[in-house]
Structure 1
Amino acid sequence: MNQETQEIAEPGTRPEPSGEVRTFTMLLSSTPRGARLARLLAVDTLRSWGLPEERAGHVVAELAANAATHGRVPGRGFRLTLYVVGSTLRVEVTDTRGDRSPVLREPGAGAESGRGLLLVDALADRWGVGEGRFPRKTVWAEIDLSPPERDSSRSGDLGG
Structure 2
Amino acid sequence: MKSEISTQEFAMRFTSTPRGARLARRLVSLRLDEWGHPYDGRVNEAVTLISAEFAANAVQHGRVPGRDFHLRLAGGEDVVRLEVSDTLTERLPERRAPSGEGGRGLILVEALAD
- Shorter-chain TM-score bucket reads 0.7 to 0.9
Q: Which position in structure 1 is the counterpart of 2:13?
A: 27
Q: Which runs of 4+ in 1 moved over 6 A?
A: none
More helix by share: 2
Cα drift, residue 89 of structure 1:
0.5
SS at match of 1:93: strand
> Aligned equivalents of 2:113 and 2:104: distance in 1?
14
Q: Which position in structure 1 is the counterpart of 2:109?
A: 120
1:107–1:114 contact (8 Å) kept in structure 2: yes
Q: 2:63 aligns with which of 72, 75, 83?
A: 72
Q: Which position in structure 1 is the counterpart of 2:53?
A: 62
More strand by share: 1
Does structure 1 residue 39 correspond to structure 2 residue 28? no
Distance verdict in 2 for CA 1:25–1:86, change over 3 Å = same
SS at match of 1:36: helix
State the number of aligned residues. 107
How well do the aligned residues superpose, as a CA RMSD in angstroms?
1.6
Cα drift, residue 32 of structure 1:
0.8
- Structure 1: any 5+ residue segments left out of the alignment? 1-16, 126-160
TM-score by length of 1: 0.62
- Structure 2: any 5+ residue segments left out of the alignment? 38-42
Larger relative contact order, structure 1 or 2 (CA cutoff 8 Å, min sep 6): 2
1:82–1:90 contact (8 Å) kept in structure 2: yes
Which one has a bigger Cα radius of gyration?
1
What is the identity, as a one-letter code, of the residue corresponding to 2:9?
A: T
The percent of aligned pairs where both chains have the same amino acid is 50
> Aligned equivalents of 1:82 and 1:63: distance in 2?
12
Q: Which position in structure 1 is the counterpart of 2:94?
A: 103
TM-score by length of 2: 0.85
SS at match of 1:53: helix
Cα drift, residue 86 of structure 1:
4.5
